[in-house]
Amino acid sequence: MAISQQDVARIARLARIELSPDETSRAQTDLDGMLALIEKLQAVDTTGIEPMAHPLAAHQDIALRLRADAADSSGTIAQREALMANSPAEEEGLFLVPTVIE
């Protein structure tokens, strides 16, 4: 599938960018190359191949670096006050935020 000059002009308009005629032809060439690469990738038969969670999983054992999802106490009152020092508004040790939905 080839990209036309009109397609490039429409994409540029949607992206709100202005392209010179030289930049338009260069963008057309680049987009054609990308589409050709996608067509090559889609032509590969991946039947029976299990998806990987990480691109390096085929080469090494990957452990995801996740922390426990647990509340962390602020410790002492001094630590809480230090944490709240950057807050634009707070009350009773809680952050106050503007109402979004009423």
Give the per-residue SS3 of 39-61: HHHHHCCCCCCCCCCCCCCCCCC
Q: Is residue 26 part of a domain?
A: yes
Question: Which tops the pLDDT comparison, 26 or 54?
Answer: 26
In angstroms, rounded to a whole number, what is the distance separating the alpha carbons of residues 85 and 95? Answer: 11
Share of the chain above pLDDT 90, in %: 44
Count the domains in the chain: 1
Q: Is residue 73 part of a domain?
A: no
Q: What is the CATH number of the domain that holds 32?
A: 1.10.20
**Residue 16 structural domain:** 5-43
Share of the chain above pLDDT 70, in %: 95
23 pLDDT band (50/70/90 cuts)?
Answer: very high
- In 1-102 the beta strands, taken as DSSP E runs, fall at 90-91, 94-95
Q: What is the pLDDT of residue 21?
A: 93
Question: Which tops the pLDDT comparison, 22 or 93?
Answer: 22
Q: Is residue 98 part of a domain?
A: no
Q: What is the pLDDT of residue 98?
A: 86
In angstroms, rounded to a whole number, what is the distance separating the alpha carbons of residues 57 and 10? Answer: 39
Q: Is residue 69 part of a domain?
A: no
Q: Is residue 10 part of a domain?
A: yes
Q: Is residue 9 part of a domain?
A: yes
